[in-house]
Structures are given as structure tokens and as C-alpha cells.
């Protein structure tokens, strides 16, 4: 360098100076930019880098389990495989010009493996989204085909990246139809649609979390920060007041009655009078929530709280109670029944059993419309209305079920006229739900307190911590205790002697109850129909220390329509099972340890065992008809029991050592196998009963 002189040397030194200056300026700019990036925009660039290295992880929480009061699962969530896609990872390293063809080729393979529409899959691939569901709840074969596509053994040697087969929760109802309407259904995306699944959705669904995980160059997850234990994300567990053994018998007996009498529908509500806990709520027709797409909206209705009907004569319970509490009538007073016909505002009120003078117990036992109307008119429209409101009619009970109806007491904006007061006294012109009837009669059973119904007994976290627990709550006192006790005694006469509800009588117990046979209104004419009825029975047992209150409603029975013949037997058979399950005997002194059977995993078998315990130890009151010859070894000969009542026929079957399967009510009309045939011990004997004519 020092040897360079003259013009040439000066030129070289100038060029080197300029070059060094440019390099210095460039270095300064680089340093300035680096400082700007790291100092001022550092957070933005670091976040962009993290987004490139990380992927969002979806952790759908496990939906909470629904149990009955004894801890038996009614609704659970099970994991089933589902396929998700990371479209950005799939198209990584694919040239933009080749992405359309590549996506079409992969979409065809995925659509074939999962039985999907090719175009829908292709659109998802081209979305370049980091997470998208391809198909929910795939079969085992589909999962295997997807795993093959993502492995090194993929067909054509072309491995598909970005696919993931993960477990996704699916709702499963292990008891099938049991409590179907109460529980409701869950949509494929995990949200409740009907029933308790809808009303308790926020508590059952859990906490949805979205976390970020670090991935390597090929997109494989290395680890994720903040992953919690599955139980921390899971939804709350719900314990209902429902007893699955009682629920099973309620559904079975309701279904048998509805089919026997060719009814359009029906419901049964069983309540514990002292606490307000709902032990069973059955609706018919029923459906299997595991296969709800095959059901109708009518079958999925919780009829006990959504369907309203004119109660008819069961309303006389509350008219009589209001009359006693209000001083309009006394327990020993007799009323003149006008020989079965009385005109009110040019409307003729008639009795089915015309009488002259009846006491209050006789008015209930013979179900006099005329005398009930006189009690209501003596009270006056306003006082009767207020009394029925205090019993809970015309307002929602507050049960946590969607679509509950409040019923109808009287038109808004005006009081009852005289004929409306008279009609309401015996249950016409008003509308109630079966749950309202059960809660109202529970107020009579427990001494006069109207309770809030309890369906959800307890809610806990998935780790067992109690979130909330229900306790009995009294809404208000409806009638004095002495009045409730008097009405209960009067209602015993309905199920004994010449009363209309003798079919509800349980041997060895005093049953308090009331029947009703209410005509339905024809929507086309606006008048009462001559062939459409609602048959119902409401009552409690034992009358002096009730353990259950039951309301039975059968809608539009066709073979027979009287409440005493259609609904009362449902009450009796249900009450027999519950009394046995509670360990009570007719003398109320010797408890039986049957609770374990009632909480069996098989409620059908448990119910049969309970009835066997209550009935099977007593010898049949009738003897078998003699037959000729001897049956084969380990066989018995079926006797002719035609015309026998249900109880004696069932006892006789158990004495023979065969299992009775009962259909219908009334007297035995047909046996399968027929009388005189041999039947293996332990085999099933079908007993078909029909109402006596």
C-alpha cells in the first residue's frame, strides 16, 4: 500500500475510504435496526416466533355424570375416537403452485377412509387452519385407516401429516329408556338440548381450555405448558333424588296401563311428602336417549311438568280442605245433593251417583260434583281461587326442567263468575300439571305445608367436593294441621267400602286417595268430548304416616276411562313395591332389609325381588285345579287360574317355581303356556289380565 504513489495511489485510497464509509453506514443501519427490533418491537417479533413454534391444543372437558339418589349412573360420558386436522402442517413444504393438486389428492384419500364428501374435505385442507375437525365419533375401522395413512406404511408411500385421532366425549345412557325424558339429550358438539342435560348444561359441561404446546420442525408435539389434570377440567357430577328402582316400576306400570287401555299418553310422579324430593317421574310414550334421532318430540316430553289437563274430581280434595279451613263446611255437616242435579247460571251440574244428603267423607268417597260445587260457592270465587293458588296451582313449581307449565286457574283480568267457581270446585275449567297435583297432595299428607319440589339432591366436583346440596324448603303453610289430618282420614274412605278408588287399596295399609275421570275438551267444537277422557288417581300411603305421595294420569284411555279402573291399579302396584323397598310391613313394626335389592345394578330384577319379598312368602288363597298325569322331571304343570286376581296368580306362579310376567290389569284372562301344559321350573309364565266386565 505504501508503495503506491502518484495518481493511481490516491485513487485507490479514495475508493477504500468510500468503501469503508459505506460499510460503516451499513453496519450502523444494521445495528440500529437490530436495536429497534430487540428494543422497541421485540415483544411483537418474539410472539410471532412463538406462534410459529407452537400449536394450539384443544382440551374438551369431560361432561359430568348424572347419578340417581343411591349413586347409580344414569348418564355418563365415554371417549370415542374423532379425527382432527392441522391443515397448515399438512401443506407445509408444498409449493404454492402444487397445493391445489396436492389438496385434491389427499382429500380423495381422506374422504374414502372416512366416508365423507371429497369437496368438503378439500375445502378444509385449503383453509390452512391449525385445527379443524374432520369427523366426530368415528368407527374402529375408520380409526385404523387414518392411522395407516399417517404411518410410514401409508399406501403409495405418501404419508399424510397433520392428522390426529383423539378421544372425544360422547354421552351414553346405561339404563336406556329409564329416566329418558328427565335426562334429555346432548348434541354432537357436547351441549345439552333437552331435559336436565339442558337445564344443568353449565354445571355438567365443565371448563373448556385452550393451551399452547411446543412442536418440532415436523410439527410433532414435544410438550405443553399449563396442562392440567383431566379432573380439573371435568364438569360437575349431579346426584338426583330419583330412585331408579322406583322409577323403573313407575315406568313399567305406566306403560302397561297405557298399552292395556290403549291410551295416548300418561305420566306418574312419586314424591316424598316430608321433604318434597321427587322419587320418580315417568312419562309414556318413552324413548331411548342413546338413539334419540329415531324418536318423536312427543315421546321426549317430560309430561309430568309440561302437559296440562283438567284434573276433574281430584280437585275435590283441595276444595274440601279449603272449605274446612275457611269455615264453609264442617267435618260432620251434611249437604243436600239435589238428587244428583243442580242448575248454576243455566248450566246443569250432575252427579254420577245421585244422592240426597251426604257428609263430607261421603262427598269425597262418592265424588259428588253437586256438593263440591256447593262448598266452592259457599267459599266464594275469590277465596276458592286464593286457596287453590296456595296449593300451588296456576304457578310453576320451580323444578329444574325446561318447559315447565304453570297451568291455568282462571282467565287473566277478571274473577270467576258463579258457574266458573262451581266448575273449578270439581276440577273443570282449570288446567294443572301432574307435578302440581303430586306436590299439592303432599301438602295434605305432611300436615299442611307446601314444599318446593327437589329433583337435584347434590352437585359435586369431579373430585367429590360438594358445590351445592338441596334441603327441604317450605313455600308456605296451606291449611292447618288439623284440617290436613281430617282430609286424610276422609280420603281413606275413597279407597275402601263403596268408594270409587278401591282398586288403589294396598292390603294391610290405609290408603288415602281420590280418583278422577275428566272429560277432555274437543278443540273443534269447544265442548266436552263424549269419548275422550283423562283418568287419574292421586293419593298417599300409609294414610297416617305417609312415605310416598303419587299422582297418576292416563291420557285418553280407550278401553276403559274410569280413573278407579285405569289409574288406581297403577298406584297400588307402585305403592306395594315402595313400601316393601322402604322395609315396611302391614303392621309397620317389622322392617325388612331390602334397600340393597332396590339399589341393584339391575332395577328390573330388584323390583321383582321386592315384590317377591312382599308377596311371595304368603300362601295363595286359592288352590290349584287338579290335573291328570305327572309332569316331567324338573317341570311343573300349569294350573288353570282363569278369573284369578293378579295378586293370587302371581303368588301361585312363585309357589310353582316359575317366573310370572304380567300384562294388563283386572282378572286373569289368558296364560302362556296354556293350563295343563308342562313348564320347566324357573321358566317364564305369561299372565294376561283384563278388566272385569
* Nine-digit cell string for 48: 410471532
Q: Residue 131: its pLDDT value, please?
A: 78
What digits encode the pLDDT tens for the residues 197-210? 999 999 988 765 55
Which fold is adopted by the domain 56-240?
Penicillin-binding protein 2a (Domain 2) (3.90.1310)
Has 313 been annotated as catalytic? yes
Alpha-carbon torsion (299, 303, 306, 307), positive or negative: positive
Q: Residue 215: pLDDT band by 50, 70, 90 thresholds?
A: low
Q: Which of 469, 76, 452, 449 is nearest to 290 (CA)?
A: 76
- What does the DSSP 8-state code read for residue 429? S
Q: Residue 657: its pLDDT value, please?
A: 80
Q: Residue 143: pLDDT band by 50, 70, 90 thresholds?
A: confident
Q: Which of 270, 281, 278 is nearest to 548 (CA)?
A: 270
Q: How far apart are CA 425 and CA 420, in angstroms?
A: 9
Check if the beta carbon of residue 161 is closer than 8 Å to that of residue 219. yes
Q: Residue 55: its pLDDT value, please?
A: 53
Q: Specify the length of the chain in residues.
A: 693
Reply yes or no on whether the pLDDT at 141 is more than 50. yes
Q: What rounded mean pLDDT belongs to the chain? A: 82
Q: Which residues contact 59 (CB under 8 A, 6 or more apart)?
A: 208, 209, 210, 211, 227, 233
What digits encode the pLDDT tens for the residues 353-408? 888 899 898 899 888 999 999 999 999 999 999 999 999 999 999 999 999 999 99
> Average pLDDT, stretch 467-473?
93
Among 3.40.710.10, 3.40.250.10, 3.30.365.10, 3.30.450.20, name the CATH number for the domain at 244-597: 3.40.710.10
Q: Residue 666: its pLDDT value, please?
A: 65
* Nine-digit cell string for 235: 364438569
Residue of 356 and 667 predicted with greater confidence: 356
Reply yes or no on whether the pLDDT at 664 is more than 70. no
- What does the DSSP 8-state code read for residue 331? T
> Average pLDDT, stretch 634-652?
78
**Cell match 360422547: residue?**
170
| Segments making up each domain of the chain, as ranges | 6-40, 56-240, 244-597, 618-690
> Average pLDDT, stretch 265-292?
94
> Average pLDDT, stretch 452-471?
92
What digits encode the pLDDT tens for the residues 560-598? 989 999 999 999 999 999 998 888 877 543 333 334 333
Q: Residue 118: pLDDT band by 50, 70, 90 thresholds?
A: confident
Reply yes or no on whether the pLDDT at 483 is more than 50. yes
Q: Which residues contact 399 (CB under 8 A, 6 or more apart)?
A: 278, 305, 435, 453, 455
CATH number at 618-690: 3.30.10.20
Reply yes or no on whether the pLDDT at 160 is more than 90. no
Q: Which of 649, 680, 651 is nearest to 667 (CA)?
A: 649
Reply yes or no on whether the pLDDT at 448 is more than 90. yes
* Nine-digit cell string for 582: 322402604
Q: Residue 249: its pLDDT value, please?
A: 94
> Has this prediction a pTM greater than 0.75?
no
> Average pLDDT, stretch 75-88?
79
> Which of the following is catalytic: 199, 281, 305, 313?
313
Check if the beta carbon of residue 218 is closer than 8 Å to that of residue 90. no
Q: Percentage of residues in the chain with pLDDT exceeding 70?
A: 82
Amino acid at each position: 500500500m505504501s508503495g503506491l504513489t502518484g495518481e493511481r495511489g490516491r485513487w485507490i485510497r479514495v475508493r477504500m475510504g468510500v468503501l469503508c464509509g459505506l460499510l460503516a453506514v451499513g453496519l450502523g443501519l444494521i445495528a440500529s435496526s437490530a436495536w429497534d427490533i430487540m428494543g422497541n418491537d421485540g415483544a411483537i417479533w418474539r410472539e410471532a416466533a412463538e406462534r410459529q413454534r407452537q400449536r394450539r391444543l384443544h382440551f374438551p372437558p369431560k361432561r359430568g355424570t348424572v347419578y340417581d339418589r343411591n349413586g347409580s349412573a344414569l348418564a355418563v360420558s365415554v371417549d370415542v375416537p374423532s379425527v382432527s386436522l392441522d391443515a397448515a402442517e399438512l401443506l407445509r413444504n408444498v409449493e404454492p403452485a402444487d397445493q391445489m393438486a396436492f389438496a385434491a389428492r389427499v382429500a380423495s384419500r381422506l374422504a374414502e377412509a372416512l366416508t365423507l364428501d371429497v369437496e368438503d374435505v378439500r375445502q378444509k385442507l385449503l383453509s390452512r387452519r391449525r385445527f379443524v375437525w374432520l369427523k366426530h365419533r368415528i368407527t374402529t375401522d375408520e380409526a385404523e385407516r387414518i392411522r395407516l395413512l399417517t404411518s410410514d406404511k401409508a399406501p403409495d408411500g405418501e404419508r399424510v401429516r397433520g392428522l390426529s385421532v383423539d378421544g372425544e366425549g360422547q354421552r351414553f345412557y346405561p339404563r336406556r329408556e329409564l329416566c329418558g325424558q328427565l335426562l334429555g339429550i346432548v348434541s354432537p358438539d357436547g351441549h345439552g338440548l333437552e331435559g336436565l342435560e339442558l337445564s344443568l348444561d353449565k354445571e355438567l359441561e365443565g371448563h373448556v381450555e385452550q393451551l399452547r404446546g411446543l412442536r418440532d420442525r415436523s410439527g410433532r408435539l414435544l410438550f405443553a405448558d399449563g396442562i392440567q389434570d383431566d379432573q380439573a377440567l371435568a364438569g360437575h357430577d349431579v346426584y338426583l333424588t330419583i330412585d331408579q328402582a322406583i322409577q323403573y316400576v313407575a315406568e313399567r306400570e305406566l306403560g302397561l296401563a297405557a298399552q292395556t287401555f290403549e291410551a295416548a299418553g300418561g305420566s306418574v310422579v312419586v314424591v316424598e311428602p316430608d321433604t318434597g324430593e321427587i322419587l320418580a317421574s315417568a312419562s309414556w310414550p318413552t324413548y331411548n336417549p342413546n338413539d334419540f334421532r329415531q324418536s318423536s318430540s312427543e315421546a321426549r316430553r317430560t309430561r309430568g311438568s309440561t302437559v296440562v289437563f283438567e284434573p276433574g274430581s281430584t280437585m275435590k280434595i283441595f276444595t274440601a280442605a279449603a272449605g274446612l279451613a275457611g269455615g264453609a263446611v264442617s267435618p260432620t255437616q251434611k249437604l243436600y245433593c239435589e238428587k244428583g242435579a243442580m242448575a248454576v247460571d243455566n248450566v246443569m251440574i250432575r252427579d254420577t251417583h245421585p244422592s240426597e244428603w251426604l257428609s263430607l267423607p261421603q262427598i269425597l268417597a262418592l265424588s259428588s260434583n253437586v256438593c263440591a260445587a256447593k262448598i266452592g260457592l259457599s267459599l266464594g270465587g275469590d277465596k276458592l281461587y286464593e286457596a287453590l293458588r296456595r296449593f300451588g296451582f296456576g304457578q310453576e313449581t320451580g323444578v329444574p326442567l325446561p318447559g315447565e307449565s304453570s297451568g291455568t286457574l282462571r282467565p287473566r283480568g277478571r274473577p270467576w263468575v258463579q258457574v266458573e267457581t262451581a266448575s273449578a270446585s270439581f276440577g273443570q275449567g282449570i288446567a294443572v300439571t301432574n307435578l302440581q297435583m303430586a306436590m299439592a297432595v303432599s301438602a295434605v299428607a305432611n300436615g299442611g305445608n307446601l314444599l318446593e319440589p327437589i329433583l337435584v339432591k347434590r352437585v359435586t366436583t369431579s373430585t367429590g367436593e360438594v358445590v351445592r346440596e338441596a334441603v327441604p324448603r317450605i313455600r308456605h303453610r296451606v291449611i292447618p294441621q288439623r284440617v290436613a289430618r281430617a282430609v286424610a282420614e276422609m280420603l281413606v274412605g275413597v279407597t275402601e267400602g263403596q268408594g270409587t278408588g278401591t282398586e288403589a287399596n294396598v292390603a294391610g295399609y290405609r290408603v288415602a286417595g281420590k280418583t278422577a275421570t275428566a272429560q277432555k275438551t274437543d278443540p273443534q267444537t269447544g265442548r266436552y268430548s263424549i269419548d275422550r277422557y283423562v283418568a287419574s288417581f292421586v293419593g298417599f300411603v300409609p294414610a297416617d304416616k305417609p312415605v310416598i305421595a303419587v299422582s297418576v294420569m292416563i291420557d285418553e284411555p280407550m278401553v276403559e276411562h274410569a280413573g278407579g279402573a285405569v289409574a288406581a291399579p297403577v298406584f297400588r302396584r307402585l305403592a306395594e313395591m315402595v313400601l316393601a323397598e322402604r322395609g315396611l310391613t302391614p303392621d309397620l313394626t317389622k322392617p325388612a332389609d331390602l334397600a340393597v335389592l332396590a339399589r341393584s345394578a339391575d332395577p328390573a330384577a330388584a323390583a321383582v325381588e321386592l315384590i317377591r319379598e312382599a308377596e311371595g312368602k304368603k300362601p295363595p288363597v286359592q288352590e290349584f285345579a287338579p290335573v291328570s298325569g305327572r309332569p316331567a322331571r324338573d317341570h311343573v304343570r300349569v294350573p288353570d287360574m282363569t278369573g284369578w286376581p293378579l295378586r293370587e296368580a302371581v303368588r301361585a306362579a312363585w309357589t310353582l317355581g316359575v317366573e310370572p310376567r304380567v300384562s294388563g290389569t283386572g282378572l286373569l284372562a289368558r296364560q302362556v303356556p296354556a293350563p295343563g301344559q308342562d313348564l320347566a321350573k324357573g321358566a317364564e309364565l305369561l299372565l294376561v289380565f283384563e278388566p272385569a266386565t
